[in-house]
Structure 1
Amino acid sequence: MTLNKLALVTAMSAVLTACGGSSSGGDNSSSSLSSSEASSSESSGSSQSSAGSEPTTGILSCENANRIQGFAAMGDGTTGGAGGTEVTVTSGQELVAALSNKGSEPLTIYVDGTITPDGVSDGKFNIKDMNDVSIIGVEDRALFDGIGIKITRAHNVIIRNVTMRYVNIGDKDHISLEGPATHIWIDHNTFYNSLDSEKDFYDELVSGKRSVDNVTISYNILRDSWKTSLWGSSDSDNFERRITFYGNHWSNVNSRLPLFRFGQAHIFNNYYQTVLSTAINSRMGATIRIEGNVFEDVQNPIVAFYSEEVGYWDLEDNLFIDVTWTEGDGVTAGPNPESTVSYTPAYDYDKLSAEDTKAHVLNNAGAGVITDCL
């Protein structure tokens, strides 16, 4: 089923006027080559800032690695526990104690070792009813083995440089955000489960629901997952959430990269590699700018499936390599992807060209990459 572009643009006019965008997008074009060749999509939109001066495919400088882009940088930004108390933990019990004992000062928790569910009664680590917290892995030694983190009624939270795997207790997510939760930065982590399991044995790697806002998810590896990144738990979870995804490596996954309902998302310079079902799924009127990404060996890179209402996308400079498009319960952007709305996020940002994205992401995404910068 193919989208009627003019009708969708008209339907989005009021929404985009309210959020500062434009509903008058110009002509869009895309090229569709053979399955062994790369095709690209372009729109008349443009980013507010071009790529920086450092090598585009090399390792990030610490200055750039520690600079937040996207929605988490808006307003007063996201600083986590900077300038406050620092503590190092080596077990789950110590991590629970550190969070429970947090006072009014900002708190940075350094994780040095393998964190298991042993002695953790709730099946997850709760950053709840508190502000100004960072959880940062030490070197390449921070492993959350079988237990995740839930962020609820919290503001100004950073999680960086940790590895999480095989979470099937608590909420069964690696990192779960439940609003109200604002100004969250999830950066340079590695998340994985297994596709050898039954589909519902694990849940999401990184997800959010209800009033979650000003979130940036950057330079993470998200792999080996059935259900990967859900934003909006149902078709009635109607909040104007705003999430940025950039520099991430989505690899060997089934779907939800992300599944996004309502609100606004910005997805740029991500590398999608081996996706079995669907990648970006825009639903229930969501508005998503998708630019500078690489989709390689991906089924249905961009769709609006399985909801009562479709979502929308603004496409620019994406590469599609050995992708397939199939019919589903909704609409698909392919085989010749075009924008269905014009949308520019309300912040400045630096982006790379799609042709530089794959090498850049492979060099920079994941835990253990930025240990000299923390």
Structure 2
Amino acid sequence: MRRPVVLHLSAVLATAATGAAIAVALPTPQASAAVGSATGYATQNGGTTGGAGGQTVRATTGTAIHAALCTRASSSTPIVIQVEGTINHGNTSKVSGGSCSTADGVIELKQISNVTIVGVGGGAVFDQLGIHIRDSRNIIIQNVTIRNVKKSGSPTSNGGDAIGMESNVRNVWVDHVTLEASGGESEGFDGLFDMKDNTQYVTLSYSILRNSGRGGLVGSSESDLSNGFITYHHNLYENIDSRTPLLRGGIAHVYNNHYVSLHESGINSRAGARAKVDNNYFRNSKDVLGTFYTSERGYWQVSGNIFDNVTWSAPGTDNYPAGPNPQSNTTVSIPYPYSLDGAGCVPDVVRQTAGAHTGLKVSDGNCSPQTPTPGPTSPTPGPTSPTPGPTSPTPTPTPSSGTNLSIGAGSDGSSKADGTSYGNVRDGNMSTYWSPVGSTGSISIKWGSATTVSRINIREASGSVGVIGSWRVLNGGTGAVLASGSGAGVVTFAPTALTKVTFEITSSTGTPRVAEFETYAG
């Protein structure tokens, strides 16, 4: 077996003020990345592999982590950063370089891709120091502890979030981490695991979140509805006031988690969010599922959960608990395979697997923890999917890979409702959208010269998923029908050279809202 190259950055950082770093390489080039493979929604949209196949470096300071990012050939060059020891404000400084954008007092993963941060050896602890992911994609964080990150008091870091993601983040897998605080907002802490401003395709697995006022949110306000496709599985939420998580719009899959001592509320689905909540174990908690603190309702599909000593408040204005007998009020289609542990064994399985420094054990879907095989991660399918429920769920748009040809193209359509725009379907922003006047209409992407297209992806805005009924895809130049069907999502057809492609909605259950009309050559 060939040994990986490991660059020991922390011991050889020179000229820290200029961000320069000198490293000594061992003689072999390749390294495995994280242990195991990504799961959940992080397997979609091309998958999440982090720094697999890239160089491996070892870091024992925050400055060394930044130096590893900044000395890459480019901001997308794959890299695996093995972290050991305590990372804090005293050893985390800004480093400059063409492949990074870093800052003092926070681990900054900004405008980068293809990075793995994994705790090794005696363990990695980020003490009062958060990890900030911004405008980045394909990131893995595994086997680390992040504790006591504050937004007020001293010292402060990352707005008080242990891990915070914002601004066009895609494909993040956070696995076997421990995120903890020592109180709530009044003590200076904020969320443990927050996502906002167009963050999508994220999985949080086999992790511990505890001793905090806020577990985490998806969406910073009722108008921030561009986030979604999040999976939470085999996590322990313990001694949390609320937000486990708070969902504003989007889709979440929440399964096989153990919730203990949720004091105010738990899974808070709001503003059109849709959550599939399977085989979780809730214990000694209050209002573990519902819509809380708003009149903007969310939805849930429930099955197989255990509610052990759970209390429910009475319904009222801005308060819509799902219990005491939770029933489904939506259906959610999950595009990836997964296996469910029985809810009754979830506390024991999570106890053995969740958190940093637990051997990276995972469940086999039969209530039996296993140690995964080390190796580069890849979006390979997991075990078989669970049996569908009694109703046929609305199709969930399947993400596409490759270059989205709509970006930089033109667009027009049959009509546009007030406050919407044809250009909104090609801006890469799920919070903006086009709607026709009425329940039917057409939207087109067009180019100045012939462009070959064989696949499109119609993505409905949060809160309107499933509205689109029947449709046709047309060659906008000739009127030829390329495909027809029903429901939004990916549509494939024979490769066609055209200057305009039209998506014509011929029926719907309401006013369609198309957030993105993506086009691909293959």
TM bucket (normalised to shorter chain) is 0.7 to 0.9
Task: Give secondary structure in 1 for the equivalent of 2:135.
Answer: strand
CA contact (8 A) 1:303 1:333 kept: yes
Aligned-residue offset at 1:191: 0.8
CA contact (8 A) 2:219 2:227 kept: no
Task: Give secondary structure in 2 for the equivalent of 1:103.
Answer: coil
2:197 is the counterpart of 1:225? no
Q: Which residue of 1 aligns with 2:79?
A: 107
User: Where does 1:268-347 land on structure 2 (aligned, <5 Å)?
Assistant: 268-327=255-314, 329-347=318-336
2:176 is the counterpart of 1:188? yes
Larger radius of gyration between Structure 1 and Structure 2: 2
269-278 or 345-354, which moves further after superposition? 345-354
114-123 or 152-161, which moves further after superposition? 114-123
Task: Give secondary structure in 2 for the equivalent of 1:368.
Answer: coil
Q: Residues 334 and 165 of structure 1: is their aligned pair in 2 closer, same or farther, counting only changes over 3 Å?
A: same
TM-score, length basis structure 2: 0.58
Counterpart residue identity of residue 181, structure 2: N
Deviation by residue 1:65-114 (Cα, 9 ceiling, x = unmatched): 71322100114311000110111111122122122223332011110110
Counterpart residue identity of residue 115, structure 2: V
Aligned-residue offset at 1:139: 3.4
User: Where does 1:254-265 land on structure 2 (aligned, <5 Å)?
Assistant: 254-265=241-252
Deviation by residue 1:141-200 (Cα, 9 ceiling, x = unmatched): 2000010111111110000000010111232111101031111000000011113x6535
Q: Which residue of 1 aligns with 2:43?
A: 73
Q: Which residue of 1 aligns with 2:63?
A: 93
Q: Residues 199 and 339 of structure 1: is their aligned pair in 2 closer, same or farther, counting only changes over 3 Å?
A: farther
Structure with the larger helix share: 1
Aligned-residue offset at 1:240: 4.6
Q: Residues 113 and 240 of structure 1: is their aligned pair in 2 closer, same or farther, counting only changes over 3 Å?
A: closer
Query: Aligned partners of 2:232, 2:287: CA distance in 1, in Å?
Result: 19
Query: Aligned partners of 1:240, 1:92: CA distance in 2, in Å?
Result: 29
Query: Aligned partners of 2:325, 2:78: CA distance in 1, in Å?
Result: 49
Task: Give secondary structure in 2 for the equivalent of 1:199.
Answer: helix
Counterpart residue identity of residue 329, structure 2: T
User: Where does 1:120-135 land on structure 2 (aligned, <5 Å)?
Assistant: 120=93, 122-135=104-117
Which portions of structure 1, spanning 4 or more consecutive aligned residues, are displaced by more than 4 angstroms?
371-374
CA contact (8 A) 2:203 2:232 kept: yes
Query: Aligned partners of 1:209, 1:335: CA distance in 2, in Å?
Result: 31
Aligned-residue offset at 1:362: 0.7
Task: Give secondary structure in 2 for the equivalent of 1:194.
Answer: strand
Q: Which residue of 1 aligns with 2:422?
A: none
2:141 is the counterpart of 1:152? no
The counterpart of 1:237, out of the listed 224, 228, 234, is: 224
Counterpart residue identity of residue 349, structure 1: Y
TM-score, length basis structure 1: 0.80
CA contact (8 A) 1:235 1:308 kept: no
Q: Which residue of 1 aligns with 2:167?
A: 179
Query: Aligned partners of 1:181, 1:75: CA distance in 2, in Å?
Result: 12
Task: Give secondary structure in 2 for the equivalent of 1:315.
Answer: strand
CA contact (8 A) 1:140 1:161 kept: no
Q: Unmatched 5+ residue regions in structure 1?
A: 1-63
Q: Residues 250 and 124 of structure 1: is their aligned pair in 2 closer, same or farther, counting only changes over 3 Å?
A: same
Counterpart residue identity of residue 250, structure 1: Y
Q: Which residue of 2 aligns with 1:163?
A: 145
Task: Give secondary structure in 2 for the equivalent of 1:347.
Answer: coil
Task: Give secondary structure in 2 for the equivalent of 1:260.
Answer: strand
Aligned-residue offset at 1:311: 0.4
Count of residues in Structure 1 that have an aligned counterpart in Structure 2: 310
Q: Residues 222 and 140 of structure 1: is their aligned pair in 2 closer, same or farther, counting only changes over 3 Å?
A: farther
66-75 or 308-317, which moves further after superposition? 66-75
Counterpart residue identity of residue 135, structure 2: R
CA contact (8 A) 1:161 1:366 kept: yes
Counterpart residue identity of residue 187, structure 1: D
185-194 or 334-343, which moves further after superposition? 334-343
The two structures, once aligned, show a CA RMSD in angstroms of: 1.7
Task: Give secondary structure in 1 for the equivalent of 2:69.
Answer: helix
CA contact (8 A) 1:139 1:368 kept: no
Identical-pair percentage:
39
Q: Residues 140 and 318 of structure 1: is their aligned pair in 2 closer, same or farther, counting only changes over 3 Å?
A: farther
Q: Which residue of 2 aligns with 1:362?
A: 351
Aligned-residue offset at 1:245: 0.2
Q: Which residue of 1 aligns with 2:120?
A: 138
Aligned-residue offset at 1:218: 0.3
Q: Which residue of 2 aligns with 1:47?
A: none
Task: Give secondary structure in 1 for the equivalent of 2:146.
Answer: strand
Counterpart residue identity of residue 163, structure 1: T
Task: Give secondary structure in 1 for the equivalent of 2:194.
Answer: strand
CA contact (8 A) 1:157 1:184 kept: yes
Q: Residues 200 and 208 of structure 1: is their aligned pair in 2 closer, same or farther, counting only changes over 3 Å?
A: farther
Query: Aligned partners of 2:325, 2:82: CA distance in 1, in Å?
Result: 47
